[in-house]
Structure 1
Amino acid sequence: MRRHELSDAEWELVQPLLPRPTMERPRLDDRTVLNGIIWKFRTGVAWRDVPERYGSWATLHTRFRRWASDGTFERMLRAAQAKADAAGSIDWLVSVDSTVVRAHQHAAGARKKGAPDQALGRSRGGLTSKIHLVVDGFGRPLAFVVTAGNINDCTQLTTVMDAIRVPRIGPGRPRIRPDHLLGDKGYSSKAIRTWLRQRRITHTIPERADQVANRQRGGRKGGRPPVFDKQLYKQRNVVERCFNRLKQWRGLATRYDKTAMSYRAAVTLASLLMWA
């Protein structure tokens, strides 16, 4: 096994989840292809620069695009989460946050007319994307959403929370509701607290300074401050550590993909290996 390649244990997990070929003609081994795809995003090189030991770069790119569009990577991630849930190894004290990813100039230029949103936004630093992420208590990704970099965090909390869907091995509905949510001040709003309360999700989110001042200015009518556990809030650092691990993949730390579908698939693949 070379650096950046799948171990035998990781391959045993993902092999049954890959789609079977429909044509009988010889094709490049799936493990070789997947190793080449991982190597490309780990190092951040262009597709044409992937070493020849992984086969033709065009084959790697075609297989990656096919697996990204048909949901193969998403199914593999859900299966890994389901296996962990069956073993009782998911900590449902979840944390939410976002990180900004600089987009390389090669990420621009996708077809715009009639095409879906490519999750690129212009800010002071140029084109950026943003990953909104929910992790379990061990810092493993449960769900994420990719948006343009100029999208506010609080507008995506309900979207990323609704994306949590851990299937059961055997009968039963997928689990979609965590036990508790940790978030920073960017998620402190009355609308978010109400949304979480309606779904019976307890939360630890600090108030912003302006919200504290407004509440105190109202006196008794300002209401009581929300419950905040400082010791519990310290565990929110797991989401920051998860971002650090994701950005060890140079192809994720800087976005080179023109389409949001390809970039999401790469983030899904990196998340899968955290569970595997």
Structure 2
Amino acid sequence: MSAIRLDNLDISYGDTKVVHGVSLDIAEGESFALVGESGSGKSTILRAIAGLAPEWTGQIEVLGAPRSHGVDRTVARQVQMVFQDPYGSLHPRKTIDATLSEPLTIHGIGDRDARVEQMLTQVGLDRRFRFRFPHQLSGGQRQRVAIARALMLEPKVLLLDEPTSALDVSVQAEILNLLKRLRAEQGLTYLVVTHNLPVVSFLCDRLAVMRHGRIVEVADVAQLKHGALVEPYSQELLAATEGRVTA
């Protein structure tokens, strides 16, 4: 079964259409990337799937079920999003405990203490971080909290919007390794937005190259690693990161 299926998806902000006729089929357990320059519509697609971009037409299916416009509690149990900025996405006046407990409270899930401590362990944070505030954590630790929050409802799909671009290079590798491990352990499906082709090479199985709101090429990551992308624009992106895309 498909984890995410998009059929002829158009997305607009007011009178401006920013995504044009996008169709994709992402299998359960797959890690799939949307790549392209800023403004190509990558993050807008994530927002539509998450229910944060209400003006769209076409069809969005999550785990075989069509999703409606706007926020949907049922979809929220299955699909969660990790944002680019690990500080801006966390409430500065809420402890890590409150941040991780909030999804459980909203959805009426009990055993919160045990679930919070278990999730902190899963993302590599000691229990002493539980009652700290975001400003008391490093950028990498904050992103681990953001990932933990996304996983509190035990979703099957994670939408990752540039999950490492705001982090120091040394910390990026730690977060990528964490994401790779969590996917293997929990059978997660990833839809990753990034402009960083080495991230795609490390984390993903397939990729779609976007330009001006349209998909210009879909390829296996093996094609990326071997420099075998076909479209001229895809080759331009590859040339810009030449030497950094490895197996």
Structure 1-normalised TM-score?
0.27
Give the greater-gyration-radius structure (CA): 1
| Higher share in strand | 2
| Higher share in helix | 1
Structure 2-normalised TM-score?
0.30
